[in-house]
Amino acid sequence: MRLWRSVVGKLWVTILLLVSFVLFILTILLLEFFQNYHVDEVEKELTNTAEKVAGIIENHKDLDLGMELGKEIIDEPVNILVVLDDTKSIYSDVPEGSGEDIHRLIMNDESLQKAYHQQSIIKEFERSSDSSDNRYENIIVVGTPLHIGDRDGAVYLYQSLGVIKDTTRQTTRLILLAAGIAIILTTIFAFFLSTRITAPLRKMREAAFEVAKGKFDTKVPILTKDEIGELATGFNQMGRQLKFHINALNQEKEQLSSILSSMADGVITLNRDGTILITNPPADRFLQHWYYEQSGMGDEPIPTSLQELLQNVVVTETEQTGEVTLQGRSYVVIASPLYNNNTIRGAVVVVRDMTEERRLDKLRKDFIANVSHELRTPISMLQGYSEAIVDDIAASEEEKKEIARIIYDESLRMGRLVNDLLDLARMEAGHISLNQDFIPIMPFTERVTNKFLGLAREKRVSINFDSQVDATKEMKMDPDRIEQVLTNLIDNAVRHTPEEGSVTVSLNEGKGGFLFHVKDTGSGIPEEDLPFVFERFYKADKARTRGKSGTGLGLAIARNIVEAHGGHIQVHSKLEQGTTFTFFLPFQS
């Protein structure tokens, strides 16, 4: 079955069947031809012999002598019958009684009686009354006119066709042998020819499979200069062209992939039905936020707002713009139609994360409002108490001194605010100067913590220090700046912890530096405010409102100081469970 499915098998069987059919027809024709040829030769030979016998009998006056001489020229297995006067047999070489049936057939046959009238007759008789398909069982009879004086008769020679059976069989055997040899040679030749013709085709098939696997360098050997050779040449050219175009497509694909991957904006390619075709990393993050927010409560592949934009793009065939908010982040979405010839097959959606811009814009507005608020109170107080002095409202020296003290305190508060703003501006501009020195880190941290024992007792808050660091361990840092950080964090923790609460300051040695933790059991910070606690003037929950002496810049300054030392600071908090500030300082060489 496998051979029949192949080109070799089909071509081989086709040639073999064609040649076999031709040989079969030719064999039948040859067998028929040789059979008729042998019969014709027997007829000719019998006719010539009969005429010779008739001539001998006619030329001898002695009839018996003529009969004997005529018999001498007859070879076996030919039999002779001489008839005179139409119905009288005067001579036969067949013993009496053995050939009477044949003699009766000859003498009673009207067509053979024509031999009496100057005409030679040839006829075949069947040996028996039942018809036989075997011609070699028949008897052939040849009749020739005979004239003896005034008497007319005929000489009949007859013999069985079985004498040519062996000759015909030998001829048939030779023909069949030749046909068999021809079929065998044709089989070999057809297989060789089909193999020779299809060998380049098989190589092309193998090469085509290799090209389908991506091996475009595969070449087909050119063995001939005929059509198959031209086909191999065209195949090799096709492989080179495919390799060139595939390389060009891969380069364009890599270029497009690099462009998409390096884009800050997310790019999503959608079909008309909303199926996602292509995304880049920012778009993947956007979709992850969407899937997380879905939490398995829906089967929409994209946000509903994107689906609506896609439908509007398909209907209006114009660019559409919208906004999406996911996981507290704001995105601006721009959808443009994607064409396939003259029809829209989808859309290209650009997702731009505007969270940082919105946050910065909000921080800018809040900064202006907070600075205005922070300055308005002391300025109002300065203005009010100054007017009281000018208007001489104070009745006694003590009231004048109290007014003057308040004006002085508010001016100091304004000075601290301005100085903190200047320090923060210098730090953010990278102009902070650090006076670093090697300081025993554990005693330093414990000393700063103990400064707040008095304040903690006043607020009925317990403060603890915990450290597993050796007292001899030193750290290269600016002690004044780090003390400023610790002071700010511990002060905030004590002030925002209710009575009977606790504040814990811990120091641990981590991988590559020291970890400082300031943990309280206060009211905590709302989750939505955690990303902004280190911004200038940012006010979170009302429970963490600053006191009169605060400027609202402490955490922003602390972050800049820690980052100036090469470290980082972070906060963890839950409402009604407390807050933990952690900052890390790496070892300095």
User: Over the stretch 14-52, which tens digit does the pLDDT of each residue have?
Assistant: 877 888 888 888 888 888 887 788 788 888 888 888 888
User: Over the stretch 182-225, which tens digit does the pLDDT of each residue have?
Assistant: 888 888 887 777 777 777 777 777 788 877 777 777 777 777 77
CA 407 to chain centre: 80
Q: Which stretches does DSSP call E strand in 126-265?
A: 139-148, 151-160
Torsions phi, psi of 548, nearest 5? -65, -30
User: Over the stretch 110-166, which tens digit does the pLDDT of each residue have?
Assistant: 677 666 666 677 777 665 544 445 555 678 888 888 777 777 788 878 887 777 777
Separation of alpha carbons 544 and 524, rounded Å: 8
User: Over the stretch 377-396, which tens digit does the pLDDT of each residue have?
Assistant: 677 777 777 877 777 776 67
In 3D space, the residue among 231, 154, 160 whose CA is nearest the CA of residue 199 turns out to be: 231
In the structure, what pLDDT confidence band is assigned to residue 7 with cuts at 50, 70 and 90?
low
Q: Does residue 190 contact residue 214 with C-beta atoms inside 8 Å?
A: no
Q: Which residue has the tokens 């120091």?
A: 507
User: Over the stretch 353-379, which tens digit does the pLDDT of each residue have?
Assistant: 888 787 777 767 766 776 676 677 677
Neighbours of 551 (CB within 10 A): 21
Find residue 464's DSSP bridge partners: 504
Residue 540 neighbours by CB under 8 Å, 6+ apart: 525, 526, 529, 532, 533
Token pair belonging to 136:
């070699």
| Preceding amide of 77 cis, omega within 30 | yes
Separation of alpha carbons 176 and 183, rounded Å: 10
Q: Does residue 504 contact residue 565 with C-beta atoms inside 8 Å?
A: no
User: Over the stretch 77-124, which tens digit does the pLDDT of each residue have?
Assistant: 777 767 776 555 566 666 555 455 677 777 777 677 666 666 677 777
In the structure, what pLDDT confidence band is assigned to residue 582 with cuts at 50, 70 and 90?
very high
Say whether pTM exceeds 0.85: no
Highest mean pLDDT: which of 85-99, 236-250, 456-470?
456-470
Separation of alpha carbons 484 and 416, rounded Å: 14
Residue 247 neighbours by CB under 8 Å, 6+ apart: none
User: Over the stretch 399-418, which tens digit does the pLDDT of each residue have?
Assistant: 777 878 878 877 877 776 77
Separation of alpha carbons 312 and 14, rounded Å: 64
| Amino acid letter, residue 247 | N
Exposed/middle/buried for residue 108 (C-beta within 10 Å: 0-12, 13-18, 19+): exposed
Q: Which stretches does DSSP call E strand in 461-547?
A: 462-467, 474-477, 502-510, 513-520
Pairing of strands 502-510, 79-84: unpaired
